[in-house]
Amino acid sequence: MHPLLQHDKQQQKDILNHAVQLAQVYLEQQESFPPGRNIPDLVLEDMPEKGTSAVQALEYFKQHYASQITNSAGPRYFGFVTGGSTPAAVAGDWLVSAYDQNACGSNDSIAPQVERQTIHFFKQLFGLDEIYFGSFVTGATVSNQIGLTLGRQWIGEQQGKDIAVEGAYSISPIKVFSATPHSSILKSMAILGLGKNSLVRIDTLPDREAIDIAALERELKAAQQPVLVVANAGTVNTVDFDDLEAIGKLKSKYIFWLHVDAAFGGFAALSSRYAHLMRGINFADSITIDAHKWLNVPYDAAMQFTRHKKTQLKVFQNSAAYLGDPEKSPDYFHYTPENSRRWRALPSWFTLKAYGREGHREIVERNCDVAYSLGEKLKASAEFTLLAPVRMNVVCFTLKHAGITFDDIRAYLNAVRDDGRVFFTPTLYKGIPAIRAAISNWQTEEADGQLAFDVLTEVYQAIRHTFATTSVHIQTI
């Protein structure tokens, strides 16, 4: 064994203590550490011939990199839809690395059994029928990709073709119907060879991002062949929900695969205030839900669910003889894209076990309360325009000035970022350059929402001269 490896093996406890100390410094600064920053490109170094030891590597990291980490896991990072990591989830994730299990086998380790237990928790959490099969994947993009892959296989079977064996070229082109699909849907369509141009955008309800059911039915009737329908359980701009129950009932009249993208909106099921939005979820053939968003576990962790386990096996079965019969040994490498799988279920198990349904319900409802309060402040302000009702945890708004461009919004948000107290990301809402505040961190409190509004106002007042001065006539909510 190399002397440095031998040394570090003997010093493992000391190495872990150094890592804990470094992590603790970061965690203790989460109230003041900048949630967004602009880091210059790194000057790349040459690969060292000789190493220095793990402790020395930690020290180098501490001196050169640690102070430049973005506090995206903190309470005032409102960009994208980003959670943090609860204390229990962090503990679970550290153990994932220490145990280094390949969570694919059924009985050779407790790891895949814990994944099955965690999936069972989630099915109860989201009110899913017991028939659903689920597994952990890297994120919502891969989960959406799996859902569309299964839908593609199913449509092939409607035409008497096995796409997993014969290929997608053996069937006629597949159409995907959706009103406001997330960008990962289009990415998945490109990867799968469905083609982005196969998306048929269905009209939304007036002043909504939710699908117009009548318009969807017209398109289904005109299709005259099986299609994929992607429904939203929480759009990223306004957390709008398609009527899942109404869409599901159309399956009695038309032949289509229903995929529900509930990446973060699925957590509406935890609260009696919002659970009605998930009504009809059990009509879904496949479902995406993300854990590293509103469950607040470390990246990467999402789940995919389907009512069609046998279809999933046809697509993902690993044919290596030494892996055995999947019916006798239902290992995850027969049902997911990966043959080697990180034990990414463990942080979710830890946080669900530590805080239960009640604890995670409190996070959801508190985040939604902060979002609603921020929305009310923006609605009443002279500087901002609320573009959509605050339905749950996302606030969509813009500057109340004529001629505002997307570049103006970016410049404004760069100034907000450089202030160092809060962070937001830009978006487009129905063609309007806008700002999205996504509040999904377990630590975020009302005071953080108030500070966010104060920073938005202060920065606007400081740079307003760079924008046009005529008020824009955008309908307020």
- Distance, in Å, from the CA atom of 217 to the CA atom of 215, rounded to the nearest integer, reads 5
Average pLDDT estimate for 19-25: 96
In a domain, 428, yes or no: no
Structural domain of 193: 102-342
CATH number at residue 193: 3.40.640.10
In a domain, 282, yes or no: yes
Name the least confident of 100-109, 215-224, 256-265, 295-304: 100-109
Single pTM value for the model? 0.95
In a domain, 173, yes or no: yes
Give the pLDDT band (50/70/90) at residue 328. low
How many domains does the chain fold into?
1
The residues, ordered by sequence, that sit 6+ positions from 70 with a Cβ below 8 Å of its Cβ are: 34, 35, 36, 37, 39, 77
Mean predicted lDDT score pLDDT of the chain? 94
Average pLDDT estimate for 186-199: 97
In a domain, 275, yes or no: yes
Q: Is the pLDDT of residue 112 over 80?
A: yes
Q: Is the pLDDT of residue 432 over 80?
A: yes
pLDDT at 466: 81
Q: Is the pLDDT of residue 320 over 90?
A: no
Alpha-helix runs per DSSP H in 193-342: 213-223, 244-249, 309-316
Q: Is the pLDDT of residue 323 over 50?
A: yes
In a domain, 182, yes or no: yes
Average pLDDT estimate for 365-380: 98
Strand partners, 288: 261, 304
In a domain, 249, yes or no: yes
Pair 77, 71: CB distance under 8 Å: yes
Q: Is the pLDDT of residue 476 over 90?
A: no
Name the least confident of 167-171, 181-185, 221-225, 251-255: 167-171
Average pLDDT estimate for 68-84: 95
The residues, ordered by sequence, that sit 6+ positions from 405 with a Cβ below 8 Å of its Cβ are: 433
pLDDT at 469: 46
pLDDT digits (tens, 9 = 90+) for 233-249: 999 999 999 999 999 99
In a domain, 455, yes or no: no
Q: Is the pLDDT of residue 278 over 50?
A: yes
**What percentage of the chain exceeds 70 in pLDDT?**
96
In a domain, 250, yes or no: yes
pLDDT at 170: 82
* Type and span of the H or E element at 156: helix 140-158
pLDDT at 325: 62
Q: Is the pLDDT of residue 327 over 90?
A: no
